[in-house]
Amino acid sequence: MTDSFVNSVTPDGERVPSHSGEPLVVLSDVNKHFGELHVLQDINLTVHRGEVVVVIGPSGSGKSTLCRAINRLEPIDSGTITLDGQPLPAEGKALARLRADVGMVFQAFNLFAHKTILENVTLGPIKVKRMKTAAAKQRAMELLERVGVANQADKLPAQLSGGQQQRVAIARALAMQPKVLLFDEPTSALDPEMVNEVLDTMVALAKEGMTMVVVTHEMGFARKAADRVVFMADGQIVEEAEPEKFFTDPQSHRAQDFLGKIL
């Protein structure tokens, strides 16, 4: 790869997708209400293996609920969600296994405050994946190395900067060897000077072929790493396009209006 872009472009200017085209996460006619509020309306979305989908849209449009539905933190009213061809289980052991396959990185870092950085990363593999402690530690150190915080392994989360904590959260998610990683505004709680260190980590993951669904308003990240931008408003997917197309030539009024406010 000669430039910093994940997706290559042919001499004719045609984008070559980074993914295989094989569906990994498929949402079909998904609906969800909170009381009167129809928060997800007939959502149809396919995320392919190796694909990076960036979800953007105004606050309250249902982006977090969409992520939580994919991870089954939020039950849906109707429709189906499948992961690697399997419908999402409702409960029990199958659900725990599914959770291991769907990693999630939240806006707030959500690390266990009273456990060290290393323990934060080894806990899931030891408890859920029944990994031996020594092997889990070794793997955790490799992951902490990869996200650039290995030298913080013995500290508590509060002793790290927000950017470092969020990179630990990414390492923790990776430790479970997920099939897909969901990011819900992973940089919006960070001080500005720490945003790039987290985005750079995410771009590196995207380049390595990780399947990612990323809710973010970071347009630089979307341009650099996304195969596709999905624009949500009022519980609906209003528009989907390749990032360059979406940012330069949005089709819907809602997207034009939204981009006018944030760009």
Residues that bind ligand ADP (CB under 6 A): 34, 37, 39, 57, 59-65
What does 37 interact with, of ligand ADP, Mg ion, none (CB < 5 to 8 A by kind)?
ligand ADP
What does 148 interact with, of Mg ion, ligand ADP, none (CB < 5 to 8 A by kind)?
none
What does 9 interact with, of ligand ADP, Mg ion, none (CB < 5 to 8 A by kind)?
none
CA atoms of 228 and 176, how far apart (whole Å)? 25
- Cβ at position 215, least distance to ligand ADP in Å: 7
- Cβ at position 234, least distance to ligand ADP in Å: 9
CB closer to Mg ion, 39 vs 149? 39
CB closer to ligand ADP, 39 vs 175? 39
- Cβ at position 143, least distance to Mg ion in Å: 26
- Cβ at position 25, least distance to Mg ion in Å: 18
23: β partners: 48
CB closer to Mg ion, 122 vs 216? 216
CB closer to Mg ion, 139 vs 183? 183
What does 39 interact with, of Mg ion, ligand ADP, none (CB < 5 to 8 A by kind)?
ligand ADP
Residue nearest to Mg ion (CB): 64
What does 186 interact with, of ligand ADP, Mg ion, none (CB < 5 to 8 A by kind)?
none
Q: Which residues bind Mg ion (CB under 5 A)?
A: 63-64
Residue pair 199/183 in contact by the 8 Å Cβ criterion = no
- Cβ at position 105, least distance to Mg ion in Å: 13
